[in-house]
Amino acid sequence: MQILTGQVPTVDAFPDDLMFEDEDPGTVPERPSAAAVPWPILVVDDDEQVHAMTRVLLKDFEFEGRRFAIVSAFSAAEAREILAERSDLPVVLLDVVMETQDAGLHLVHHIRRDLGNRHIRIILRTGQPGQAPEREAIVAYDINDYKSKAELTAQKLFTSLVGAVRSWRDLVTIETLNQSLERRVAERTAELERQTALADGQRRFIENLVEMMPSPVWYKDAAGRYALCNRAFRELFPNAADGIEWSAGRRTASEPMPAGTGAFSFESSVEGPDGRTRELLVVKRPLTAPDGTETGVIGIATDITERRRMEHELHRLATTDPLSGAHNRRQILELLDRIVDGQGAGTACLVMLDIDHFKRINDGLGHAAGDVAIRRVVEEIRRQLRGSDQIGRIGGEEFAILLPETSRTGGAAIAERLRSGLAALAIELPDGRCFQLTGSFGLTEVRPLEDTVESVLGRADQALYRAKALGRNRVEAA
């Protein structure tokens, strides 16, 4: 299946004999309408329970009125056979360790290099993160996402699949449009070589067709001149026609400049004439003459700024406590887990903070005053912390503070500074009333590669309870 050089898969193109594993093989199901055909998701894993659990997690989810259907492969070899026969698979959920320790990673190379399939979105799932560390896997292999099996809840799996299906659909749509445009521009160029000029009617038709396209489209000849660019391109790059070259911005690590005549894509940040930065997905394809001489390049750019903004906002909402603006519980514990796994340098400390007598604030001044207190506490803590330190709200009036590359002695000094700052903090309410508060602090040193998240939290909690038992408004170390 040569996606870049052969037929481009369409969102609704499925084989007539398609049968999903949820169907009884002893019956002939009634073929659904195109709009109801499920999204086929290729699951490659040698554990049957992973296939069953994935099917259960996605059972009640739909995207654009279409459910998800699992296409199962229990080895990398079986996955190769399926991929050789089918071009309608938008996403593959791929295990790393199967027939061999890196069978999944070899399958990634097979998909990208041997099959030339740049459209299918590959989500690497592993129950053994040590076999393919996230950073090395993303740099060395052309994958689109990396997930631990343990972290893929139903909602996270659905969110990952929706993003991957959307990306696959966008790439297919862009490639289809690019091939159509390439064919028209190539026909026009060939005709210009055979004749001195096109007929006025034909030339106007092609130019008007390109001119009306909403995405920036251009053609550069072998000399680097913009021989053709539409209105959308001129609006985004008003100086390009004057010979000022457009810089491609950042190219994704997985999309190097290819040799030969194949299409290639990359993402780029550009500043428009209005001064706003825009994120673009750019697809280019070189044009060559019959003798192999390069005659130019055509390109089309799709504005993905809003999509990127939404992705950033979704990430912020997923990791931030809405009341305080600090990290939420899941995010701060994930940061602690990274330190425990040895992803930081040197020692680190965890400080647990509990606002003293917080119930009195809520009961005496109202819950609105309690909300104000939580926000002001976070503001004061952040004012005292270093740029590398992190604070997260564990729940209620309790907070966790991470101090990377900090010894126990240094952590105790920071915690004491935070305690003193809270004790001196005067909190004013909208009605003019003021109140003060104090905090109890429990400190422990983190031992990377020895501790667990639970053991670190346990020691910090014990120190915190001791601080409260000894009269509150104090720092105690485990």
Catalytically active residues, by annotation:
397
Q: Are 464 and 354 in contact (CB under 8 A)?
A: yes
Strands 439-446 and 426-428: unpaired
**Residue 295 main-chain phi, psi, to 5 deg:** -105, -5
The token pair that represents 383 in the structure block? 């004012």
What is the C-alpha separation between 369 and 360, in angstroms, rounded? Answer: 11
> Which tokens in the block code for residue 211?
């001119």
The Cα 42–Cα 51 span in angstroms is 10
- For residue 297, what are the β-bridge partners? 220, 286
Tell me if 21 sits within 8 A of 70, measured CB to CB.
yes
Question: Phi/psi zone of residue 111: left (φ > 0), alpha (ψ -120 to 50 degrees), beta?
Answer: alpha
Q: Nearest-CA neighbor of 217 among 168, 284, 309?
A: 284
How far, in Å, CA of 367 to CA of 384, rounded?
26
Pairwise CA distance, residues 203 & 188, whole Å: 8
Closest CA to 341 of 445, 447, 457, 454: 447
* Phi, psi for residue 159 in degrees, rounded to 5: -60, -45
Helix, strand, coil percent content, the chain, rounded in steps of 5: 40, 25, 35
CA nearest to 413, candidates 385, 371, 439: 385
End-to-end Cα, the chain, rounded Å: 60
User: Which two three-digit tokens encode residue 215?
Assistant: 């995405």
E strand or H helix that includes residue 270 = strand 264-271
